[in-house]
Amino acid sequence: MKKRFLLAAVIAAVCVSAGCSLKQQVPDNTTESGESATETEAPSTIAPTTEDTQQSTESPSSEAETEKDVKIVIATDTHYLAKDLTDFQKSFQYTVDHGDGKVMPYIWEITDAFIEEVKEEKPDVVILSGDLTYNGEKESHKEFAAKLQEIEDAKIPVIVIPGNHDINNPKAARFTGDSTQEANSITPQEFEEIYQDFGYNEAVSRDSASLSYVYQIDDSTRAFMLDSSQYEPKNLVGGMIKDDTYDWIEEQMEEAHDLGMKVIPVSHHNLLDESEVYLDDCTIEHSEQLIDQLESWEVPLYLSGHLHVQHNMKSTKETGIQEIVTSSLSTPPCQYGILYYGEDGGFRYHTKPLDMKAWALKTGNKDKNLLDFKIYGNRFLNKVFYNQAQDEFDRRVDLKGLTKYQRDQMAKVYAELNVASTAGKVYSIRDKVMKKPGYKMWEEEGYQSILSQYLQWITSDGTKDYNLLDKE
């Protein structure tokens, strides 16, 4: 491959997420309200990271944007669920409380608030990088596509690619009472049909081997929407790029160079090893091939999702590619990214949490959780991560001997660090949390658990704010 200079910018990102998290079954000891009848209750106090992890992060150079800059809204892992697919009873509530942090009880309000904020932002394009639906339910896809049409009707283009949850997903289900019932999933062909107006019909080029395509953002910038999901012959969590797709990418890179186009590649799965703990299902399989290919053309910026954590990272080369992983829109602080990309390849990126209170006031919604969503979201996420730790204690034989006090302290620390990690702001609490008894207990009592390994990675990695990037 010939080296070509296409972009002169750089961005970075990535961490850990739902696509890589453990799955649990609904136990027999859930209460009628859907809460787990565990020995220890989840903490009711708000972690001290509420304001730090949830407030809006504005770009330090936001006033310096020019009319020539391309403005892109980036959202990922929306995990929309059709409302008719749940009755909000026991199985739904348990799945929410013991999931990976998606605020499914308010996913409809979150989606509507996002649509309204996009209209106010007036970007040149909205990029959704996969896991559009909860578990690939056909009904969810159709309903979500109808929502996206509201953005298109406001003359703002939306482009999408699938994530590992979206196609041929055997977990597509309807929540009914204390059980789930199978729901219809969709094929790759149906995905393209449902989202034909969101990138596919407008594509400059289509890859015949996958759902990848090239979209012309403006006269000098193209988005390479790369389908990294595996759904044939069966659905897999991990990602990869097909051999034929690599050939197509090379052809499109050469064409973009000949036309003087800047290129922004986007996929659902991560290009770089953003997490030292969760690799197999998060980083694109054999991603070094894609890294070498893009770096040979001196492409500096890559966008992805999947981890449900705000993060960024640069490849090992001094002038290598950088990746931004935007956190999940469905997971507190429920934020999206705003990227300004200049003609010279310079860029500015910052995140923006949804203002659910403003949306509730505007629409007349009097739900107290929405009117105080920062506090609600923090408590919700703390509870989910607290439950994750408690579930780990129940599963592992070597942790059965922990006392109630040890379990409680360890679970609180695990929750606090994970809430901050999701928001990309571990740096603000790491030193304080590492001094807590619960953290020491993870090192002494739970060191063999993957959760302990993950906590060590979080604290070693969490040395900066991952919500801002500025490259002139």
Residue 62: which CATH number? 3.60.21.10
Q: What percent of the chain has pLDDT over 90?
A: 79
Residue 33 is assigned to a structural domain of this protein: no
Give the mean model confidence (pLDDT) for residues 10-21.
Answer: 38
Q: Does one domain contain both 167 and 212?
A: yes
> Residue 20's pLDDT is what?
56
Give the mean model confidence (pLDDT) for residues 137-161.
Answer: 98
> Residue 129's pLDDT is what?
98
Residue 34 is assigned to a structural domain of this protein: no
Please check whether residue 7 is in contact with residue 302, taking contact to mean a CB–CB distance below 8 angstroms. no
Q: Which two tokens stand for residue 144?
A: 């979500």
CA 244 to chain centre: 27
Q: Which two tokens stand for residue 370?
A: 């929405």
> Residue 67's pLDDT is what?
64
Of 337, 363, 389, at which residue does a domain stop?
A: 363
**pTM value surpassing 0.85:** yes
Q: Does one domain contain both 298 and 179?
A: yes
Give the mean model confidence (pLDDT) for residues 152-173.
Answer: 98
Of 30 and 202, the one with more pLDDT: 202
Of 363, 390, 423, at which residue does a domain stop?
A: 363
Residue 125 is assigned to a structural domain of this protein: yes
> Residue 64's pLDDT is what?
44
Q: Does one domain contain both 111 and 161?
A: yes
Residue pLDDT, tens place only, 107-136: 999 999 999 999 999 999 999 999 999 999
Of 311, 329, 363, at which residue does a domain stop?
A: 363
Q: Does one domain contain both 236 and 123?
A: yes
> Residue 186's pLDDT is what?
98
Q: Does one domain contain both 339 and 425?
A: no
Residue 372 is assigned to a structural domain of this protein: no
pLDDT band at 6 (very low <50, low <70, confident <90, very high): very low
Q: Does one domain contain both 406 and 334?
A: no
Give the mean model confidence (pLDDT) for residues 15-38.
Answer: 38
Residue 204 is assigned to a structural domain of this protein: yes
Q: Which two tokens stand for residue 442?
A: 């993870």
Residue 6 is assigned to a structural domain of this protein: no
Most confidently predicted of 25-29, 31-35, 232-236: 232-236
pLDDT above 70: residue 378: yes
Give the mean model confidence (pLDDT) for residues 67-72.
Answer: 87
Residue 48: how many other CB atoms lie within 10 Å: 15
Q: Does one domain contain both 90 and 210?
A: yes
Cα separation of 470 and 358, whole Å? 28
Of 8 and 290, the one with more pLDDT: 290
Ramachandran class of 65: left when φ > 0, alpha when ψ lies in -120 to 50, beta otherwise: beta
Q: Does one domain contain both 348 and 400?
A: no
Q: Does one domain contain both 172 and 58?
A: yes
Q: Does one domain contain both 332 and 357?
A: yes
Mean pLDDT (the chain) is 88
Q: What percent of the chain has pLDDT over 70?
A: 85
Dihedral of alpha carbons 28, 96, 418, 323, sign = positive
> Residue 57's pLDDT is what?
57
What is the SS3 assignment for the chain? CCCCCCCCCCCCCCCCCHHHCCCCCCCCCECCCCCECCCCCCCCCCCCCHHHHHCCCCCCCHHHCCCCCEEEEEECCCCECCHHHECCCHHHHHHHHCCCCCCHHHHHHHHHHHHHHHHHHCCCEEEEECCCECCCCHHHHHHHHHHHHHHHHCCCCEEEECCCCCCCCCCCEEEECCEEEECCCCCHHHHHHHCHHHHHCCCCEECCCCCCEEEEEECCEEEEEECCEECCCCCEEEECCCHHHHHHHHHHHHHHHHCCCEEEEEECCECCCCCCCCCCCCECCCHHHHHHHHHHCCCCEEEECCCCCCEEEECCCCCCCEEEECCCCCCCCCEEEEEEECCCCCEEEEEEECCHHHHHHHHCCCCHHHHCHHHHHHHHHHHHHHHHHHHHHHHCHHHCCCCHHHHHHHHHHHHHHHHHHHCCCHHHCHHHHCCCHHHHHHHHCCCCCHHHHHHHHHHHHCCCCCCEEEEC
Q: Does one domain contain both 340 and 403?
A: no
pLDDT above 60: residue 324: yes
> Residue 86's pLDDT is what?
98
Q: Does one domain contain both 71 and 186?
A: yes
Give the mean model confidence (pLDDT) for residues 48-63.
Answer: 46
pLDDT above 50: residue 45: no
Residue 414 is assigned to a structural domain of this protein: yes
Cα separation of 307 and 422, whole Å? 9
> Residue 88's pLDDT is what?
97
Please check whether residue 185 is in contact with residue 234, taking contact to mean a CB–CB distance below 8 angstroms. no
pLDDT band at 66 (very low <50, low <70, confident <90, very high): low
Dihedral of alpha carbons 92, 14, 392, 427, sign = negative
Domain containing residue 410: 380-461
CA 308 to chain centre: 4
pLDDT above 60: residue 171: yes
Residue 469 is assigned to a structural domain of this protein: no
Of 300 and 438, the one with more pLDDT: 438
Give the mean model confidence (pLDDT) for residues 183-195.
Answer: 98
Of 353 and 316, the one with more pLDDT: 353
Residue pLDDT, tens place only, 383-405: 999 999 999 999 999 898 999 99
Give the mean model confidence (pLDDT) for residues 287-312.
Answer: 96
Structurally, how many domains does the chain consist of? 2
